């Protein structure tokens, strides 16, 4: 009888241990993040625009933000800042779409096809696509631009009254080639002679066509933003040596918005030190932006 009890006890203990090991192998249960993401491909006629759509759980039309990345970057942005702000927006019930411009990914057009006018055109197509979604409230759609993405967004926001809110990070806001003068000085002649020039940026390699140079030089985004009158947020780092933060102030000065917010993050650089162990600046920018959009859309 004692052996029988011992046998049963061993079986029960073994079964419990087996169940515990199975749960441990499976890992801890993950909570529903409250939103879902899916990759999309948006038809732009002669090419497809790759993107990632983040949609909050639940029903009903929701506000949304279109995110435009910077020079040499991609749709998730440096340090995944766009992917992270997409999550922060979704937590507040705001959907988002982040897209790749030409050259940004294997699924996008090649870098040599990248031009300022092309980025503006793709942004307009993506905005139309986003507004056309049943889950999106077409009266509550905003734009977010990072560096060169701000320059592109200014042209769109200044000429399309469907943009209900516009936020800028480290905005390249000057007309023409002001913020890209180094590239013009160093590489324009080669691009003119050969049709394009390959430039190693250190973190990636780009191929700049003569059309890229000419369309950047012809851009008039600072003039066009005078046609924008909805809420406007500009964030910049006080220690930004890539784009002087005074250009973020110029954005607010020229726009006709009666609801303007300027945040200069003391001690932050162009990318808010996102590639360091200290994420405090990046997190501050992300949460300022998510809170602002959720209150303005």
Q: Are residues 135 and 11 in the same domain?
A: no
Q: Are residues 89 and 22 in the same domain?
A: no
Q: Are residues 83 and 17 in the same domain?
A: no
Phi, psi (rounded to 5 degrees) for 70: -95, -175
Q: Are residues 45 and 26 in the same domain?
A: no
Mean pLDDT of the chain: 91
Q: Are residues 7 and 71 in the same domain?
A: no
Q: Are residues 263 and 247 in the same domain?
A: yes
Residues 228 and 153: their CA atoms lie apart, in Å, by: 11
For 109, residues 6+ apart whose C-beta sits below 8 A from its C-beta are: 47, 102, 103, 118
21 falls in which pLDDT band (50, 70, 90)?
Answer: very low
Q: Are residues 89 and 214 in the same domain?
A: yes
Interval 219-243 mean pLDDT: 98
Q: Are residues 277 and 184 in the same domain?
A: yes
What would the pLDDT profile of 35-70 be if each residue is shown by its tens digit?
Answer: 999 999 999 999 999 999 999 998 889 999 999 999
pLDDT of 119 above 60: yes
Q: Are residues 258 and 141 in the same domain?
A: yes
pLDDT of 186 above 70: yes
pLDDT of 188 above 90: yes
What would the pLDDT profile of 64-104 be if each residue is shown by its tens digit?
Answer: 999 999 999 999 999 999 999 999 999 999 999 999 999 99
Interval 217-246 mean pLDDT: 98
Residues 82 and 137: their CA atoms lie apart, in Å, by: 21
pLDDT of 125 above 90: yes
pLDDT of 24 above 90: no
Q: Which domain holds residue 14?
A: 1-30
Q: Are residues 273 and 161 in the same domain?
A: yes
Alpha-helical runs (H) found in the chain: 2-26, 81-91, 116-131, 148-157, 181-194, 210-218, 221-224, 246-254, 280-296
Interval 156-169 mean pLDDT: 98
Q: Are residues 120 and 242 in the same domain?
A: yes
Q: Are residues 261 and 133 in the same domain?
A: yes
In the chain, the number of structural domains is 2
Question: Which CATH number goes with the domain that contains 204?
Answer: 3.40.50.1820
């Amino acid at each position: 009888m004692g052996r029988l009890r011992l046998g049963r006890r061993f079986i029960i203990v073994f079964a419990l241990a087996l169940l515990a090991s199975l749960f441990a192998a499976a890992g801890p249960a993950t909570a529903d993040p409250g939103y879902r993401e899916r990759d999309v491909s948006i038809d732009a006629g002669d090419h497809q625009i790759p993107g990632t759509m983040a949609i909050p759980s639940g029903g009903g039309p929701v506000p949304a933000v279109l995110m435009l990345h910077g020079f040499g970057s991609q749709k998730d942005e440096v340090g995944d800042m766009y992917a992270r702000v997409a999550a922060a927006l979704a937590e507040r019930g705001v959907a988002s779409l982040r897209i790749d411009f030409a050259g940004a990914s294997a699924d996008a057009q090649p870098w040599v096809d990248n031009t300022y006018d092309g980025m503006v055109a793709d942004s307009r197509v993506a905005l139309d696509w986003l507004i056309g979604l049943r889950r999106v409230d077409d009266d509550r759609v905003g734009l977010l631009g990072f560096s060169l993405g701000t320059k592109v967004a200014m042209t769109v926001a200044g000429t399309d009254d469907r943009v209900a809110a516009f936020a800028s990070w480290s905005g390249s806001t000057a007309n023409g080639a002001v913020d890209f003068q180094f590239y013009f000085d160093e590489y324009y002649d080669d691009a003119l002679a050969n049709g394009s020039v390959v430039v190693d940026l250190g973190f990636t390699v780009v191929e700049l066509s003569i059309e890229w140079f000419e369309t950047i030089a012809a851009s008039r985004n600072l003039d066009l933003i005078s046609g924008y009158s909805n809420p406007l947020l500009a964030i910049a780092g006080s220690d930004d040596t890539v784009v002087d933060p005074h250009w973020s102030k110029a954005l607010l000065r020229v726009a006709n918005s009666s609801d303007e917010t300027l945040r200069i993050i003391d001690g932050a650089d162009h990318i808010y030190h996102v590639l360091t162990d200290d994420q405090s600046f990046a997190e501050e920018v992300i949460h300022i932006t998510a809170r602002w959009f959720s209150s303005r859309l």
